[in-house]
Structure 1
């Protein structure tokens, strides 16, 4: 019998947390992730199904929503990434599919993405070194697809001093390096 154990995106048993100056960069492996897209001609049906579901709300372009159980951010026209606590919603994709039925396509994303929570008072200084995203103009609840160094990422502003950075899991090491290097440059 195999003795499998979970590993973080950076390949460790426990999430990595780095504090550099006033910035803390923490690996967040505790998210369940699923993408949701309306099927052709089904946007209204999908919206009705989501509205009828307790604890789920889909945001408008450039924004995110948060309920007690779920959060979501806009990814593109009629496309969203839905998140939840992994320990409570390990089967998030199946839960979403049960809600939207044939009106939407749902894809499990948990192990395909990594998330780093970046906190501190100087986040705009840090991210302007890495990305063309206008973080100084973004407010809590805003989310955008952008580049960070050479990586495609989502920046999700969760509070004035907290940004979640989501990127493909295969890019975790490069993303971590870019974040820590930029943090050192402003420390």
Structure 2
């Protein structure tokens, strides 16, 4: 019998947390992800069925156990606590039925939360995204170093970076190197 153990996107048993000066870079592994795309002519029906209000362009929303951010026309990424919603995509598909397409995304992405007083200085070294003008709840798809990623402003001093899981090590390296250049 196989004895499989889950690993983080960086390949460890526990999430990586780096403290560099005033910045903390934390690998986030406790969130389930699913993409939701409303089918043609079904946006209103999908919205009514879902447990949260879907945000507009460049925004995110949180309600109860769920958070969502806009990823494209009539498309969103929905997140929830993994322990409570391990089968998030299946749950959402039951809720929306034929009004939307739902795809499991949890293991396709990595997430790092960066927090601290030097947050904007840090991201200005990594990206051309206008981080200083982003308010809490704003989400922009851009590049971090050379990698495509979503930058999700969680608070004045906290940003989530969500990128393809296959890029986790490169993204982590870029985040740490930029943090060292700020201190």
TM (norm. structure 2) is 0.98
Q: Residue 109 of structure 1 aligns with which residue?
A: 105
Q: Residue 22 of structure 1 aligns with which residue?
A: 22
Q: Residue 156 of structure 1 aligns with which residue?
A: 152
Matches within 5 A, 1:10-159: 10-50=10-50, 53=51, 56-159=52-155
Q: Distance in 2 between matches of 1:70 and 1:95?
A: 12
In the TM superposition, residue 48 of structure 1 has moved relative to its aligned partner by 2.2
Count, aligned residues: 183
The unaligned stretches of length 5 or more in structure 2 are none
In the TM superposition, residue 167 of structure 1 has moved relative to its aligned partner by 0.3
In the TM superposition, residue 68 of structure 1 has moved relative to its aligned partner by 2.2
- C-alpha distance after superposition, 1:79-104 (max 9, x if no partner): 10000000000000011111111010
- C-alpha distance after superposition, 1:129-176 (max 9, x if no partner): 111111100000111111111101000001111100000000000000
After TM superposition, which residue ranges in structure 1, 4 or more long, deviate above 2 angstroms? Answer: none
In the TM superposition, residue 57 of structure 1 has moved relative to its aligned partner by 2.4
Q: Distance in 2 between matches of 1:95 and 1:133?
A: 34
- C-alpha distance after superposition, 1:14-64 (max 9, x if no partner): 0000011100000001010000001122112212222xx3xx221111110
The unaligned stretches of length 5 or more in structure 1 are none
In the TM superposition, residue 116 of structure 1 has moved relative to its aligned partner by 0.3
Q: Residue 5 of structure 1 aligns with which residue?
A: 5
TM (norm. structure 1) is 0.96
